[in-house]
A and B are shown apart, each in its own frame.
Chain A
Amino acid sequence: EVQLVESGGGLIQPGGSLRLSCAASGFTVSSNYMSWVRQAPGKGLEWVSVIYSGGSTYYADSVKGRFTISRDNSKNTLYLQMNSLRAEDTAVYYCARLDFWSGYYLGVWGQGTTVTVSS
């Protein structure tokens, strides 16, 4: 079964760091494009980052220079390293597989992990 399971969320003080993990099963992370999407409380979806199968990475302007997307091929796991966290980073973070047919779309989603940035 194709599945994504996030972990690593929690309560963190402003300026702190956190690393989110997303364990995949049923497919190979390194062979796919993978993305992080977040949703602030009561708000809509916001794209955060993507990593290509070739290893190239891209970020939303709101997190550029603070967040780093990466993967561990041996663990079939995607990561999001979040540094210099701000209150506005408070959200549920979803990892998702970016699929392609004629265009790109998020075909598989994890259940999400909650990050709360507060003192």
Chain B
Amino acid sequence: QSVLTQPPSVSAAPGQKVTISCSGSSSNIGNNYVSWYQQLPGTAPKLLIYDNNKRPSGIPDRFSGSKSGTSATLGITGLQTGDEADYYCGTWDSSLSASFGGGTKLTVL
């Protein structure tokens, strides 16, 4: 059972927008920054969003992140078939113990 709660799956058509939620508590998301990771099939996870809403170099602005209270959201606009992947939220507490969500499988119909 993961500490952070994500929907198991989401789907949308190419070109559409999708959001993925990540719910936690005051002991994790509520008092720490959230990061998001994309795991394409058969590959290692890759950083997508850090510090709730910042994109690393090379990540297109179709990907966005936000946080409110004890929840965070990943948004993806202009969906492409290449976005089909598992997406994970994560956060680190003051002792550098990490918590991850269970992952959300994105299907682009």
Contact = CB atoms under 8 A, between A and B. Distances in A.
Contact of A52 (B54, B56, B96, B102): B96
A108 to B, nearest CB: 8
Nearest to A95: B44
A26 interface: no
- A contact patch SS: strand
Interface in B76-92: 88, 90-92
A20 to B, nearest CB: 14
Contact of A109 (B46, B97, B100, B102): B46
Interface residues of B, number: 29
A102 B97 contact: no
A111 to B, nearest CB: 5
A2 B37 CA distance: 18
B97 A45 contact: no
Interface residues of A, number: 26
Interface of B: 2, 32-35, 37, 43-47, 50-52, 54, 56, 88, 90-92, 95-103
Interface of A: 33, 35, 37, 44-47, 50, 52, 58, 60, 94, 98-99, 101-112
